[in-house]
Chains A and B, each alone.
Chain A
């Protein structure tokens, strides 16, 4: 199913956006900074074309997709989680090509500060779009299956948690994100850049819990699992 989101659907949490730029909560800002921030939000609302594609898949079909090119870490949390799921769906979301060209355009014009801010707002929003896709799936499931309203739907993506990034190839073969304008290049990079892909795993909250002490956890740059697991409680 293809889902068209509206830019206003994305909750642009200012504190969280600034945190993603490494800015502490108690910071004070210059007038210039405020203008740039406001300008970026305005541009985002005007130029974002958020869209998603969500396609249900069985556990046995997903096993193949997850195996991908056979390069996953031998031990990884996703493997255990998806097997315990109540429902699985592949997904991809994008903010569309216009935002990225605007960022490039701003940099080319020497408007670096606005370009950087718009890029940062867009990266944050792309992440939030994944949450919106998960919420969308959950409400669809709840219509058919009353138990689904108590499930937790979380996303897992190639390039995270031991799922090798080359997994994008199989995922694209089955999901066809081209339908919402996302293509994959030789290096498994999605274009437009502000896009995310993966699997939405639905099931009881506990299935998403794991101990983050896999060897690859040391080099993980995001450690977003900590926050995600905390929110399950």
Chain B
């Protein structure tokens, strides 16, 4: 099997250590990093995504593949940066203030990373101002917010309002999610989008970048 196919195969099976070591081999064999990324890693992740959609595999399998992807990206990222290959987009994500629950947000962060986005995870209990200040400092393209209960949702509106006040609205896209959140709520507060699960979150964020989607 060709090296990039091996990377894809092992990634699909969640063998993270093998994927990292094969990625290093590929770099040593002078395969261009962009090619390793597209024809090895992303090719593998695409198959994982398809199998997941068809119920051939389930979320834990996808998460194992995502871990393998992240490990390989540690190897590739410095090289991609050095070659000036643009990242797919930068997302600042967190669970809003007073929300100490973060599993949904974690899943979205992992799946976005797996899809090749750079993700800055602010954790949970994140004040509205912090979403804005970090997004500004990091020149992020997207802010993602998560909430578990209706009582923590108002922070989402605060972030949208702050983004408007600071002239970031339209420049930074805002996507929200979490069990009590809805499309209607996103519309009501003026967020750009709502996603009901991790796979949908990736599709939504991808839709913000039509030009460079893979």
Contact = CB atoms under 8 A, between A and B. Distances in A.
Contact of A116 (B13, B98, B107, B182): B107
Contacts of B179: 221
24 contacts: A21-B59, A23-B58, A27-B55, A29-B58, A32-B60, A104-B102, A110-B70, A111-B67, A112-B64, A112-B67, A113-B60, A113-B64, A114-B60, A116-B107, A117-B60, A119-B103, A185-B98, A187-B98, A187-B99, A188-B149, A189-B151, A191-B100, A193-B101, A221-B180
Interface string B43-68: 00000000000010111110110110
B40 interface: no
Contact of A189 (B66, B71, B107, B152): B152
Interface residues of B, number: 32
A138 interface: no
A165 interface: yes
B57 to A, nearest CB: 6
Interface in A26-65: 27, 29-30, 32-33, 36-37
B207 interface: no
A185 B76 CA distance: 42
A107 B106 contact: yes
B6 to A, nearest CB: 18
Given A23-B58, A32-B61, A189-B149, A112 B103 contact: no
B14 interface: yes
Nearest to A29: B58
A185 B99 CA distance: 9
Given A166-B151, A189-B98, A110 B57 contact: no
Interface string A167-192: 00000000000000000011111010
A163 to B, nearest CB: 12
Contacts of A166: 151
Contacts of B106: 107, 112, 115
A112 B58 contact: no
B103 A189 contact: no
Nearest to B57: A30
A146 interface: no
A187 B61 contact: no
A219 B181 CA distance: 10
A99 interface: no
B148 interface: yes
A112 B151 contact: no
Contacts of A74: none
A30 B55 CA distance: 12
Contact of A24 (B55, B63, B98): B55
B59 A187 contact: no
A112 B102 CA distance: 12
Nearest to A30: B61
Given A111-B67, A112-B67, A166-B151, A32 B103 contact: no
Contacts of B97: 187
A189 B101 CA distance: 9
B60 A187 contact: no
Given A165-B151, A166-B151, A189-B101, A116 B63 contact: yes
Contacts of B176: none
A113 B61 contact: yes
A149 to B, nearest CB: 37
Contacts of B14: 32, 113
Contact of B66 (A37, A104, A112): A112
Nearest to B70: A110
